[in-house]
């Protein structure tokens, strides 16, 4: 018995062309329908990243600027880098001036009142500073260079004073070592500030970053670059990325001294074709 072998039939060229054409049409429709959601996803991710960066800038500045020593905000810039510097405070109290404790025995009055314009070793404050971890004391910082140049505005390093709470009267006792310290001008509000040190922000549009710097030495001349700040002993931390432009306008306090300095901050952030513009006004809370 003879078996008849059936020939194997393959695809014809026409069939292959038809299949390829249908597959191409399906692929085009897939790209058309899936491309928009994918693009939207990446655009949303970019926008979320920009919002997060703007939020970090705002939160950081809103924590530092209000607590800055009055009239210590200053800025400089060049070469695509904008620098903003301030002196951070950890507390403020009212000191007793001449005659405020005249009801006390002369020796105790001299101990508790602050003598302005001559070296003094001791004075009391009307209330507690609320912290004792500052490195400097500053009085009547009316403008630049002011405290940055020390002089009779702010005590120098190393710390020459101690702060001790007087439990019976809820006051602070400030004591200076040695011959004491001479604050050359009285504060209009009898305010003495406990200063922890300088803080800088660098907006570098070349690197597209905003960095925050702390822990460096105070200088009459403002450090305006990363190299200068790091050479002064600073520690830096990244605040934000994708920064395309920065402007800071510092509005000085009025002659009446009723309001602090005002920092007007504008930052433009860009990523993957998305742009976010941030604007805020932040003022120092205290007056000299």
With cut-offs at 50, 70 and 90, classify the pLDDT of residue 258: low
What does pLDDT average to over the chain? 87
Q: Which pLDDT score is estimated for 256?
A: 47
Average pLDDT over residues 62-87: 95
- Average pLDDT of span 122-126: 96
Q: What is the per-residue pLDDT for 4? A: 59
- pLDDT tens-place string over residues 147-177: 999 989 999 987 789 999 998 888 999 999 8
Average the pLDDT over 70-76 and give the result. Answer: 95
Q: Residue 40 — very low, low, confident or very high, per pLDDT cuts 50/70/90?
A: low
Q: What pLDDT was estimated at residue 25?
A: 76
Give pLDDT, residue 35: 55
**pLDDT surpassing 80 at residue 255:** no
- Is it the case that residue 257 has pLDDT exceeding 90? no
| For residues 19-46, average pLDDT | 65
Residue 184's pLDDT is: 95
Q: Give the lowest-confidence range in 20-24, 51-55, 163-167, 209-213.
A: 20-24
* Phi, psi dihedrals of residue 268, rounded to the nearest 5°: -110, 130
Question: Structural domain boundaries of the chain?
Answer: 46-85+198-283, 88-195
Q: How confident is the model at residue 41 (pLDDT cuts 50, 70, 90)?
A: very low
Instruction: Reply yes or no on whether the pLDDT at 122 is more than 70.
Output: yes
Confidence band, pLDDT 50/70/90 cuts, at residue 242:
very high
Mean pLDDT of 76-82: 92
The per-residue pLDDT for range 262-276, each reduced to its tens digit, is: 999 999 999 888 899
Per cent of the chain over pLDDT 90 is 64
Token couple for 2: 């003879």
Does 125 or 169 have the greater pLDDT score? 125
Is 0.75 surpassed by the pTM of this model? yes
Q: What is the mean pLDDT of residues 90-118?
A: 95
Identify whether the C-beta of residue 203 lies closer than 8 Å to the C-beta of residue 82: yes
């Amino acid at each position: 018995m003879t078996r008849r072998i059936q020939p194997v039939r393959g695809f014809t060229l026409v069939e292959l062309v038809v299949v390829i054409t249908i597959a191409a049409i399906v692929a085009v429709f897939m790209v058309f329908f899936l491309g928009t959601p994918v693009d939207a996803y990446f655009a949303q991710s970019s926008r979320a990243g920009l919002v997060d960066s703007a939020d970090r800038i705002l939160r950081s500045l809103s924590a530092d600027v209000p607590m800055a020593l009055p009239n210590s905000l200053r800025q400089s810039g060049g070469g695509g880098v904008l620098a903003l510097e301030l002196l951070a405070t950890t507390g403020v109290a009212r000191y007793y001036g001449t005659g405020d404790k005249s009801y006390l025995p002369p020796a105790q009055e001299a101990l508790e009142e602050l003598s302005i314009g001559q070296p003094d070793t001791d004075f009391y404050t009307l209330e507690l500073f609320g912290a004792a971890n500052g490195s400097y004391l500053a009085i009547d910082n009316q403008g630049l260079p002011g405290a940055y140049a020390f002089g009779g505005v702010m005590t120098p390093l190393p710390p020459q004073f101690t702060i001790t709470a007087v439990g019976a009267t809820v006051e602070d006792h400030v004591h200076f070592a040695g011959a004491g310290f001479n604050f050359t001008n009285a504060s209009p509000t009898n305010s003495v500030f406990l200063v922890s040190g300088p803080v800088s922000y660098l907006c570098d549009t070349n690197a597209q970053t905003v960095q925050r710097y702390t822990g460096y030495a105070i200088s009459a001349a403002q450090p305006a670059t990363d190299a200068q700040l790091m050479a002064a002993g600073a520690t830096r931390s990244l605040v934000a990325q994708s920064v395309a432009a920065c402007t800071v306008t510092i509005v000085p306090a009025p002659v009446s001294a009723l309001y602090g300095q005002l920092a007007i901050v504008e930052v433009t952030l860009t990523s993957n074709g998305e742009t976010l513009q941030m604007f805020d006004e932040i003022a120092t809370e205290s007056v000299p």
